[in-house]
Chains A and B, each alone.
Chain A
Amino acid sequence: MDFLRPATWAEALAAKADRPEVVPIQGGTDMMVELNFDVRRPPGLLDLNRITELAGWSSEPDGRLRVGAGVSYARLIAELGDRLPGLAQASRTVGSPQIRNRGTVGGNLGAASPAGDSHPPLLATGAVVEVESAGRGVRMIPAADFYLGVKRSALEPDELIRAFWMSPASGPQYFSKVGTRNAMVIAVCSFAIALHPGERRVGTGIGSAAPTPRRAVAAEEFLAAELDWESRLDPEVLRRFGELASEAASPIDDVRGTAGYRRHAIAVMARRTLTWAWNEFRSGHFERRAG
């Protein structure tokens, strides 16, 4: 096995183009488990820790945030929690403090596990993944097009994940996750919601209840048509939203839970997160906080 240690982003892209079979390693919280348990023996590891370009984030001219693939969950929570509240909530449920000190959204995207905690908020907020290769340059891939199958993504073998782009929240955002305890839990299933009051639209993301993370598109369209933004939340709208969210899932039975349980839980979490978000929106609390 080789251990490649590029010092710059350009060197990393060159290395990946030259040796597409090497596996990138950032926080190591996924990859090292596979190595420790002899699940995987890649021909080489491509260590991205030294690449300073990946370790920062910036506010871009179009107002969006560009967050480097090497920014840890701990830093995301501390430095961007006010602007990316849904993703920060999801990040707080990742592993333990030690894991959040190392793990990254970039790594979550690279692994593309349907259970990854960052995926539902990335989908709900319409995040875009910036990937790059030495030969073909930058590609911007909407999160909704990024996940292709269980642990399969749109990333090509010669590409690396550079950053994700996300707009600062324009309305309340929430994340909910079912697990056996608060810490160190891989989601049985999860749900994220993002209110976009300016567009009279609600974004959603379902985790760990289908082969890939996915939006509940019919549920979003239903809310866009039926939600009265000047009023209290109609219980019938709430109920139907939960039902449509649940129907968007296609879960399986596995060691963490049954398909039936997941379907039920998605409906519950969809109703709860919408209620939380709606209450925050109606109270005016979000606008006051956002200033």
Chain B
Amino acid sequence: MRVTFTVNGRRETADDVWEGESLLYVLRERVGLPGSKNACEQGECGSCTVYLDGVTVCACLVAAGQAEGREIRTVEGLADGDRLDAVQEAFVECGAVQCGFCTPGLVVQAHDLIERIPRPSDAEIREALAGNLCRCTGYEKILDAVRLAAARKAGDR
């Protein structure tokens, strides 16, 4: 089947999509946006987190056909040209990235958190990121990065 949707502000059409295919597969293999990572394929790891009509979801659990006519924003759509989003910048500065596999999902989910709650508490950060697994960092530097990004976006630093 054919699926047409908007991704990062651009209209995209994917052809020959299998009816049981996930949005994640379409993004990575058909639209050429491999930023969202494919790991668990069961919503456990959060590596494929994207915005679907402004709400974060696991792209592996959205059927491709369900994205028809809808707006997707992936990790590739966060930066403004060469200028990184504050969350991306803070991840780099804080050393919140080791192998980098979980990073795109965490960046999108943290981006959403700060949009909804500009000055999140530590408990709110932990709750927001509870569905994103990282096997390298031990999370401490990720928490540092989210705190820094929130402070910068709020104009505190």
Q: Give the interface of A toward B (CB within 8 A).
A: 1-3, 5, 25, 27-29, 31-33, 35-37, 41, 44-45, 47, 49, 74, 95-99, 101-102, 182-184
B33 interface hit (Cβ, 8 Å): no
Known contacts A1-B18, A36-B22, A102-B57; A182/B130 CB under 8 A: yes
Verify B65–A45 contact, CB threshold 8 A: yes
Verify A36–B42 contact, CB threshold 8 A: yes
Q: A49's closest neighbor in chain B, by CB?
A: B66
Q: In the complex, A184 Cα to B132 Cα: how many Å?
A: 10
**B127 surroundings in chain A (CB, below 8 A):** 97
Of A33, A35, A36, A37, which is in contact with the most chain B CB atoms at under 10 Å from its CB? A36
Q: B45's closest neighbor in chain A, by CB?
A: A184
Given contacts A36-B42, A184-B131, 8 further A-B contacts (CB under 8 A): A3-B1, A3-B19, A3-B65, A28-B63, A33-B41, A101-B56, A102-B58, A183-B130
**A27 surroundings in chain B (CB, below 8 A):** 61
**B65 surroundings in chain A (CB, below 8 A):** 3, 5, 45, 47
B39-83, CB < 8 A from A: 41-44, 46, 49, 55-58, 60-63, 65-66, 68
Q: In the complex, A2 Cα to B1 Cα: how many Å?
A: 9
Of A49, A95, A96, which is in contact with the most chain B CB atoms at under 10 Å from its CB? A96
CB distance from B13 to the nearest CB of A (A): 16
Verify B63–A41 contact, CB threshold 8 A: no
Q: In the complex, A101 Cα to B66 Cα: how many Å?
A: 14
B138 interface hit (Cβ, 8 Å): no
Verify A33–B63 contact, CB threshold 8 A: no
B109 interface hit (Cβ, 8 Å): yes
Q: In the complex, A101 Cα to B61 Cα: how many Å?
A: 11
Known contacts A3-B1, A182-B130, A183-B131; A98/B46 CB under 8 A: yes
Q: Among the listed A31, A36, A44, A96, which residue makes an inter-chain contact with B41, where contact means beta carbons less than 8 Å apart? A: A36
CB distance from B105 to the nearest CB of A (A): 9
CB distance from A191 to the nearest CB of B (A): 22
Verify A29–B18 contact, CB threshold 8 A: no
Mask for B1-43, Cβ within 8 A of A = 1, else 0?
1000000000000000011101000000000000000000111
Verify B58–A99 contact, CB threshold 8 A: yes
**B109 surroundings in chain A (CB, below 8 A):** 97-98
Known contacts A47-B63, A95-B131, A184-B130; A29/B43 CB under 8 A: yes
B143 interface hit (Cβ, 8 Å): no
6 contacts between A and B (CB under 8 A): A1-B19, A32-B60, A35-B20, A49-B66, A101-B55, A102-B62
Q: In the complex, A102 Cα to B22 Cα: how many Å?
A: 14
**A97 surroundings in chain B (CB, below 8 A):** 56, 109, 127-128, 130-131
**B22 surroundings in chain A (CB, below 8 A):** 32, 35-36
Q: Which 7 A-B pairs have the closest CB atoms?
A: A96-B131, A183-B130, A3-B19, A36-B41, A1-B19, A32-B61, A3-B65
**A95 surroundings in chain B (CB, below 8 A):** 43, 131
